Amino acid sequence: MTGFDFSGKVALVTGGSEGIGAVIARLFAEHGADVAISARRQDKLEERAALIREQTGRRCLAVVADATDPQQVEQLVERTLGEFGKIDILVNNAGNSVRSSLRKLTPEIWAKGRALNLDSAAYGTMAVGKHFLERQTGNIVNISSVAGINGTMGEVPYSAGKAGIQMLTRVAAAEWGRHGVRVNCVAPGMTTTEKMQRSLDAGIYDIADIAKRFPLQRAGTCEEVAYAVLFFASDYASYITGQTLAVDGGPPIAGFTD
């Protein structure tokens, strides 16, 4: 599968210390790329970077950065360029669930949800975009959520932020396509990340019951989401831009059966 050969490429993955972001970074490295990962906690970040280097033999740069702070994002990009000389792929993965019903929503909760789940992707796009436009090539993959497609009650700021990422994807693709830059989006559904596993262990979720709502009737894996990201970044997707791909086990459709 030569289209999945990322030898000579550099991938920057935000939110790369655990979960989907960590698996995305590892798979890029397994397929030949050097990678940079960022997150807010240095201990977890350094541990993940060391593991990726050990597992893949590729270079992995760990940069502590808050993706909601535009100055720190600029510094992250500068560190990555200083280490590798270029960036070929940006994965805007940083984000987190911010729960609130509309009735209980406050300006503070709204601002936090928007910053984590929309502003972070916008800041990454702006910072790396300058480099991509200068080189007239580049690839951005944004991580949204099915909450941004269908909405999730009780998660107003999260759903709105993730929906915003999908429109950011479309507009960036439209503006930058002529400059050799492709921008796409992956929208995961229920995925067995470390965070979800902790919730399962604590009895917060009954994953079997939730999974009954979806055609495939199971949670997805981080690898299944990550390979969709690799596809968008690969030559196999060279004529695809501005698209959002749901990796969610299928749409929940109510109605009658046989």
Q: Would you name the residues annotated as active-site residues? A: 158
Based on DSSP, count helices (H) and strands (E) in the chain, helices before strands: 10, 7
- Expressed in angstroms, the distance from the first to the final Cα of the chain is 41
Write out the DSSP string of 70-125: HHHHHHHHHHHHHHHS---EEEE-------B-TTT--HHHHHHHHIIIIIHHHHHH
Q: What pairs with residue 91 in β-bridges?
A: 13, 141
Q: How far apart are CA 48 and CA 32, in angstroms?
A: 17
Q: Report DSSP state, residue 191.
A: B
